A and B are shown apart, each in its own frame.
Chain A
């Protein structure tokens, strides 16, 4: 009987104040969509980082007048460095060959570069690309090095943009979440007010606190869950429409978003939506019902 009573109270409660319920669900779902987008982007950037950073090399260009002894010293310094995963050495001839290959569509440009204009270099892959700063610091100052160039610096700029988008989505999610919380609190207050007589009698005859609060809290939880499902649908649809069709060009830069990751958002959003609504409702009741 008690379960049936509670469930019935939840349905009646949601329906009694249906415009407020709808407003609550919409703000919750927008907020959760933003949260989901932000989490997806975070996963994506992470995945892209490991993908691109795996390819990243640090290039150590040698001076044109480098001596054999200096080259030897640099080589052994690289080999002995614990941060290094692998290193390749590129002679001037190989550098030229690669250059010609890269620019084969513009033969005049290629012709303007003589066999000695490109420096010889070591190409170094690090075990952990994040340690490039330490590695660079250890190498600078060695005789015979002209320049150390890390491709990471370039990628970092790209990732900074992604980070900014992600932070932006989180901020929107936060602002919408605040609005959603206020609406949840307000809805619960209205619900509690419209049932104040019942609540007073229940307190009087000694109904347990959970029994008094459960219908209100569950009301908020149901709204939170509906909001989460709508948010998830919005995410999935925008993923299909935007990334898989309209903005497909972007996906040559972006590593593809896995559907699995998108599906992962459903339980995440549902859990966040339900938990946040429940806590808000519970806190509101503590102030409002003083049970």
Chain B
């Protein structure tokens, strides 16, 4: 599903590479944590998978496609098979929960009829039934992140990328979000999560890949934070 082969990424003007000869494979349906200190290169992996940045060297394969060979005008289409959740939620403040999710559908060409059918369903799934018409500022942090998860999942992506999704949430709320991601993972969606929340990693007991200074120092099938 995801394949990194000898991937090196050096940002312009950086003294050392963010990722240094990293090779890793992730199977369909896996749940993987990338952990490591700030600046270790975890987030660069997310950017590479989304093709927001291109690798300096090496090969990045997502859904059986070599990402670097995708023509730039086809990248939007490629991204439709990947859902994304971030630490800062990235919701549109002037739209309700329903509209935020519907927006994501409609800008990729789905009709209003489709979103009327699909959006309530997915909001129900993330546990926001009854709060469809609240604005982000009327929702708690955990609820906002649920909206973001609903938006990422509404298109039924093959992969869900989560970049420190619990970074702004208290421990209890974080665990609820993790339960949600776990449930999404059980539908067959591959989940890749970048975090440095040791509690969560230790509770979930999933595959843990630890990165330090751009290199993989540990890859454990049912790991803990370390």
Q: Are A and B physically bound partners?
A: yes
- B130 at interface, CB cutoff 8 A: no
B77 adjacent to chain A (CB < 8 Å) = yes
* In the complex, A19 has a CB within 8 A of chain B: no
Residues facing A in B91-129 (CB within 8 A) are 92-93, 103-104, 106-109, 111-112
Name the residue on A nearest B83 (C-beta): A205
Contacts A1-B111, A1-B112, A5-B106 given; indicate if A205 touches B90 (C-beta within 8 A): no
Q: Is A209 an interface residue (CB 8 A)?
A: yes
**B93 near A205 (CB under 8 angstroms)?**
no
Chain B binder among A115-123, A149-157, A194-202, A227-235: A194-202
Tell whether A207 is near chain B: CB-to-CB under 8 Å. Answer: yes
Taking a contact as CB atoms under 8 Å apart, the answer to whether A201 and B103 are in contact is yes
Contact of A2 among B77, B78, B103, B109 (CB under 8 A): B109
- Give the residue name and chain of the B residue nearest to A197 (CB): B92
Q: B151 an interface residue at 8 Å Cβ cutoff?
A: yes
Please, which residues of chain A bring their CB within 8 A of the CB of B73? 209
The answer on a CB contact under 8 Å between B111 and A208 is no
Give the complex CA separation of A290 and B16 in angstroms.
26
Contact indicator B155/A205 (Cβ below 8 Å): yes
B77 and A204 contact, CB distance less than 8 A: no
Interface membership of B49, Cβ < 8 A: no
Indicate with 1 or 0, residue by residue over A251-270, a CB within 8 angstroms of chain B CB atoms.
Answer: 00000000000000000000
CA–CA, A231 to B160, complex, Å? 53
Q: B81 CB to closest chain A CB, in angstroms?
A: 8
Chain A 196-220, CB-CB to B under 8 Å as 1, else 0, gives: 0110111111111101100000000
Greatest chain B CB density within 10 A among A198, A200, A207, A211 is at A207
Contact assessment for A1 and B106 in the assembled complex, using a CB-CB cutoff below 8 Å: yes
Q: Is B84's beta carbon under 8 Å from chain A? A: yes
Chain B neighbourhood of A200, CB < 8 A: 90
Are the C-beta atoms of A205 and B79 separated by less than 8 Å?
yes
B-side contacts of A202, CB under 8 Å? 107
From A197, A198, A206, B80 is in contact (CB under 8 Å) with: A206
Residues of A within 8 A of B108 (CB): 205-208
On chain A, the residues within 8 Å of B84 by CB distance are: 204-205
User: Given the complex, which residues of B lie within 8 Å of A205, measured CB to CB?
Assistant: 79-80, 84, 104, 107-108, 151, 155
A200 to B107: give the CA distance in the assembly, Å: 12
Whether the Cβ atoms of B77 and A208 lie closer than 8 Å is yes
Contact A201 B90 (CB under 8 A): yes
B85 (CB) vs chain A CBs: closest residue: A204
CB proximity of B105 to chain A, nearest CB, Å: 8
Determine the chain B residues whose CB is within 8 A of the CB of A5 once the complex forms: 106
**Alpha-carbon separation in the docked complex, A88 to B172 (Å):** 109
Nearest residue in A to B79 (C-beta to C-beta)? A206
Known: A1-B112, A205-B80, A206-B80. A211 touches B107 (CB 8 A): yes
Contacts of A1 in B (CB 8 A): 106, 111-112
Closest B residue, CB atoms, query A4:
B112
Which chain A residue shows the least CB distance to B110? A1
The complex places the Cα of A235 from the Cα of B14 at a distance, in Å, of 58
Give the chain B neighbours of A201 by CB distance below 8 A. 90, 92, 103-104, 107, 151
What is the minimal beta-carbon distance from A288 to any residue of chain B, in angstroms? Answer: 16
